[in-house]
Every structure is written in C-alpha cells, then in structure tokens.
Structure 1
C-alpha cells in the first residue's frame, strides 16, 4: 500500500515505542509514564501550557498516582475538534519489561513478564502523530489528546473524566486494539456483582446439622444459574450476554472456610455480567441474586434457620454501538481507505475507554496498532501494523471533512 501522502518517520515512531515500553507504569502507578509522554509531546512541539493533568484520580476509588494527561493542538484549518485517546497504564504482569527488536517485532527480553504493548503502542501512536503533523505542517482541525489512567483496572480514568476537559471534541479515535483497519464501533457493557453468604459454623464431625454451610448455599446458587442458562454464555429470547463468578473466597484474601471439620460459615463471591444491552446485563446479575436467595432457603440448620445473603450489583461501564453511517465511523473508514486499507467494523466483548467516551458525548472509534498476545508473557508488537496504526491516526487527523 502507498503512504506517499502520509510522511511518517518510522525510525522515530519505533524509538518512541521502545522508549515508552521501557517505562514501568502498571495500573494506578502512571506518574512516570505520564511524565515521559508529556516530555515527548513537548519535544515534538506541543506548548507546555497546552498540557495538563486533570483531577480524575481524586474520584477514582482506588489509589492512583496521577490524573489523566490531556493536551491540545490548535487547528491549522477549520473543522470540528477531534479527540485522540489511549491509556497510559499496563497490567501488573508488565512490570520490569525490557523491549528489544526481533525482526519485525518488538518483544520482551524479561522472562516471565508481559511487554506492555497494551497500551504503549497507543501512547507512541499519538505522540508520533503529533510529531508528524507539526514537523510537516500538515493541515488539521483542532485536536485534543487524552491519555487515561487506570483503564486496565476498570476504565476508571475515562469514567471519571470531566467531559468539559475535552474542549468540545465532536468525535474520537481511540488507539487500543490489534489490526489498524479493524474498526471497533461497539462494545459490551458490564455490571459487577458480589454476594456475601453468612452461614453458621458448627463441628462438621460432631454436629453438622447445627451448622449452615455457606459453601453449599453458594454451590446450589451457582448450579441454579447454570441450569437456568444464566451462567457463562447467556442466550435468551430477550437478550444475549455473558457472566462469570470470578472470585470465590472467604473473608477478603482468605480461604472460604477454616478447616475440614468446621462447617463453612462465610463465602464471598465476586462476578460480572456483560451484554450489549445495559438492561439485560443488569437482568443477568439479578438472576444470580435470585438463585442465591433461593439456595439459602434450601439449606437450613436443625432449628430451621437459614443463611443470610447480601447481594449487590453495580454498573462498571455502559455498552455502546455506533451506526455505520455515523460521522466518526465514516471518517475512520475514509482515513483507512486513503491508505489503501480495507476497513471492516467490529464489536468487542470487552470494555474500552470508548465505552465512557461515547457516554460522555464523543462518538469514538477504536483502532489497532499491532499489539498481540496482550496480558501474557508472549506479548509482542507487530511493527508493520504499528506503523500502519500511526499512519491511520495521521490520516484521521488530516483527511478532509
């Protein structure tokens, strides 16, 4: 494919990628990588006065070193303001990564660790785009750059963002996927749920009938959700989705139960429900609640007492779907076609910062930049696709309306 009208300096873009991959910044500890990205933006020509950090971290219910990094570029031609976004953080498995090149890939020289291509590719793409726009004086409308925190631990930075800080951006391009031309235009929403089941301890060998087994209540409840079609892949006439009870424990960080000769008196389960329909995700969670409450009625002690069930559910992030003919999707398609790519549209079963950006009023398409085997020790970045991700961002910024 031809990139004649898209003057990306591949060596400079690769240097940015390697530079950012070498900086630790696991979720909640983004201060160092945020400073590195900020310095790179200034070196590319962004005015220091146009770079700021918001106060989203003060609203995130988890310790977070810094707020979202936000920068703006004035337009060099008329047009609606565009948003370019990505996230700063990596999963904890990426701590200590040492990037190195092997052929057309960037891999990790540190054994037993992930690389962090998710999402240092996005950080490098955005800075490389800015560097290219300013170096070559490419015409573009006003641009806002957003680098979020704590994406990997719940999309918190995007969720707590003040939409006013985006300066009226009307559409966005989020870099956080694999293949550049596979445009993600929709994603599921998620409801997080948890249940505490309080039974009664008793000697399991001497008088088990005097106890109320929380383990048994939990097991019956989970079995019930499976039998009724609410466990795992959920397909109902009124909606589709998925669910998973991911954590089964006692008191936080402890085993469920104290010993084999004691009836388990406390179980804590943490799970999720996902769907493209926000109401249906909540319905899946409600089905779990109903199953646990029904199970508690089946398990009683010799006096007829039953376990206490405390169930809570809370939306984690909303679903979204962009229409194929929406301006953001059409712009992304035209940008891809201008580079000789054949764009397709996709829907994700995982959450993205775009879920919240769309909810904040900025229709946002997510594109890729060559990140593969993410969240694993086999992670790598495909450089040709990374370069195409950079070019796609440049084209999204510069293509005529």
Structure 2
C-alpha cells in the first residue's frame, strides 16, 4: 500500500531543509503544513521557548478507537547540514558533497507521514495517534525532555530513530552520565621560574594515565572527549578543563565508574598540590525490556506479518526513547535502516525507507486488532 514515489520524494524534500538543533523553524513549518493537510489536530508546544530555540515540538493528533499511541521522530540534524544535495545511487539515498544526509531522523519522519497518508486515503482503522516531531534530540534530548506528557494518556510509544533494519527494535539502552573535570594548578613564568608553578596539564595527564578509558566491560564505557586550557606557551598552565562521559546498561556500574574517575583525579591533584573541581550531569536514564514484553511482541508480530527479519537488540546510544520511558511512557526505538549517521558518508537504502513505513502501518493494524478482540 505504500506509495513508494511519494515517500522517497517527501524524504528528499525534507533533507534539503536546514534544521540543526534549536534551528528547526523551517522544518517545523513544513510539518505543520503536512499534518494539517492530513486533517490532524496540530499544535506547537513551548519546548523552543524553554530551550532557547526557534521552534517547539510539533504535535499532531489523529483521533481513533482505542488507546493513545505515540509515533515520534526528531526534526533536528547534526552538522554539517547546510545546502544538502541528496542523490540516489545504486538503490541508496546519500548526499552529494561535504554534508550529512539527514536521514537521522528525517527518514523516521518520512515513514510516519507516509503511514498517515495511507491511513487517511484508505480509511483504515487506527487507535488515537499522537505524532510528536521533537526538537534538539541531538543535544541532550532537549525536545523530548520538554514534552508535557500530562496532556495525554499515552499507552505506549514508538520512536523511529535507530540504525537497525526495519523489523529490529532496541530493547535496551544505557544510563548516561556527563562528567566535567577542572584541574586547578598554579600559574608561573614557564621560562624564568617554572618550579614555582603547578601545571594543571601535567597533573591531569598523570590522572588520565591511571584511568581505564574506552570499553570498561561488556556493559560500560568511559570516554574523555573535550580538553581545553592554557593561555600562552610561556605560562605554566593554571587550569585544564575536561568533559567526558560514562555509559552503562547497569546503573550501579555507571556510578562506580564515575566514582573511580573522581577518586583518581582528586587523589592525583592532591599529590601534586593541585585542586580538582567537578560537575556531574545525568544525561538520561537507561531502560531494559525483555523479549516477552508487550511492546516488543507487538513489533515482532508486525515484522512477522510482513516477513521482515525480527531482531531485539541492545545499543549503547541514547534517544528520545530514554526520556519517554523515564516519563512513564513505555516506549521502544525502531530500526529504520540509517547507515553511517553523523558523517558525510551517511546513506539510507530506498527499500529500508519504504519498509519502515510498511512496518509502522502494520503496527497500527496489529494494535487496532488487539483493541477489537
């Protein structure tokens, strides 16, 4: 039932729209128009105001029979995303030039829009559908965090934002903590009296050498990704700032990893007469569903009906799914076939784009049949 030409054309049209995080206005306007054309009740929330962006989350409601079910993808993309020129080659849609494609997550949006078109054109039965196109997913999941779930009575939700093939579902995602470290030494002239200074760089290097960075175990990772400090080559570096993160499927292990980092850095700073300041931020909580869980079984049934290979997997990345589960909305992330995301080599196969729409349309049918049993 999927209109293959339409979904591909819509996707290509959307990836050309400039929409980096907190600058989603043009994309938001486009989607407001699309949802209204489809006859949905549409509004824009205050997530843009809360997060100092130029657009809020776009929410569309299509009344139906049965529970409220959310389908969601995010509007923002990573950079470089200006003047994207999409091309089709060997069955793949990719960008021409030095930009991303933007399939993360406009492929998800295209699938949701096509699902809505098919439902309306064929007058298909459906539960009440709450469509959420969120802002700023790529920067700390800000749009989903600002979403006011109290306005709805959502039974569960499906996020279209995973790199797996259509028919795959993320059953487990990690807890994620950001850590900011500031090593404070003492400035001195590097050529005249360096011995009177305490190099924050030297102290930090000593501390880092004692850390286990990378994959800690099968459930846990630690990374230090940003380092900056110093003002001139002739000054012993007084301050060095490091921003890192740890992720783990096990919340206890996450806490232990962060505690180890702080303990090693504090002890090393004291050893060399320096000081350490630190700041912790919980980016998001993890989730873990068994394959017997209702949502996972719904996805499996839809995949089986379409003869798509089903796979329930654990992934080390986060998404809006983490936020909605924390809010009490049982939610899973669906594979839509995105490949090499966050790079200029990004692409998506046309078949996966089409199959993503097929899958969620089948999910709607499965849910509707369950309601009438």
TM range (shorter): over 0.9
Q: Within 1, Cα distance between the matches of 2:226 and 2:7?
A: 40
Alpha-carbon deviation of 1:257?
4.5
- For residues 339-378 of structure 1, give each alpha carbon's deviation from its aligned partner in whole angstroms, at most 9, with x where no partner exists: 1112110111000110011111121121122321111111
Provide the residue aligned with 1:3 in structure 2.
none
TM-score (normalizing by structure 1):
0.88
Provide the residue aligned with 1:258 in structure 2.
232
Provide the residue aligned with 1:234 in structure 2.
216
Provide the residue aligned with 1:54 in structure 2.
45
1:332–1:365 contact (8 Å) kept in structure 2: no
Is residue 208 of structure 2 the alignment partner of residue 222 of structure 1? yes
Is residue 54 of structure 2 the alignment partner of residue 65 of structure 1? yes
Residue correspondences, number = 367
1:249–1:269 contact (8 Å) kept in structure 2: yes
Is residue 325 of structure 2 the alignment partner of residue 352 of structure 1? no
Matches within 5 A, 1:286-305: 286-299=259-272
Q: Within 2, Cα distance between the matches of 1:170 and 1:186?
A: 19
Provide the residue aligned with 1:311 in structure 2.
278
How large is the RMSD of aligned CA atoms in angstroms? 1.4
**Which residue of the other structure, out of 29, 32, 50, is the alignment partner of 2:23?**
29
TM-score (normalizing by structure 2):
0.95
Alpha-carbon deviation of 1:173?
1.2
Is residue 178 of structure 2 the alignment partner of residue 192 of structure 1? yes
Q: Within 1, Cα distance between the matches of 2:251 and 2:142?
A: 18
Q: Within 2, Cα distance between the matches of 1:267 and 1:40?
A: 49
Provide the residue aligned with 2:253 in structure 1.
280
Moved over 6 A (4+): none
Matches within 5 A, 1:2-401: 7-43=1-37, 45-47=38-40, 50-60=41-51, 63-75=52-64, 78-109=65-96, 111-165=97-151, 167-178=152-163, 179-226=165-212, 231-235=213-217, 240-250=219-229, 256-259=230-233, 261-299=234-272, 306-399=273-366, 400-401=369-370
- For residues 82-122 of structure 1, give each alpha carbon's deviation from its aligned partner in whole angstroms, at most 9, with x where no partner exists: 1101100000122221112223121212x111111111101
- For residues 291-350 of structure 1, give each alpha carbon's deviation from its aligned partner in whole angstroms, at most 9, with x where no partner exists: 111111221xxxxxx222111111001111122122111111111111111211011100
Q: Within 2, Cα distance between the matches of 1:223 and 1:57?
A: 42
* Structure 1 unaligned residues grouped into runs of 5+: 1-6, 251-255, 300-305
Alpha-carbon deviation of 1:225?
1.6
* Structure 2 unaligned residues grouped into runs of 5+: none
Q: Within 2, Cα distance between the matches of 1:34 and 1:323?
A: 35
